Amino acid sequence: SDGGKLLVVPMVGSHWLSMKEVVQKLSERGHEVVVLVPEVSWQMETTQAYKVVTHPVSQTLEELDNAF
């Protein structure tokens, strides 16, 4: 496929775990991928495969843990 630009805004938790591999493959195939993640999150780390941009949230990690 032709490379294009893709903005990914994953939800915290299992949705990201499922999407992560797909996002990496799209990047490998030439797509320019930007992943927008909250400053407070689980398992959303940076990588060389795609660009990660964080955005501020009002929730702390403790509040996130307690919500789940």
- Residues 9-66 pLDDT 10s: 887 666 777 888 888 899 988 899 998 888 777 566 667 788 888 888 787 778 767 7
Tell me the C-alpha distance between 61 and 59, whole Å: 7
Kind and range of the H or E run holding 52:
strand 51-55
Tell me the C-alpha distance between 28 and 22, whole Å: 10
Percent composition of the chain: helix, strand, coil (DSSP 3-state, to 5): 30, 25, 45
- Residues 7-18 pLDDT 10s: 888 876 667 778
Tell me the C-alpha distance between 68 and 52, whole Å: 24
Portion of the chain with pLDDT greater than 90, in percent? 6
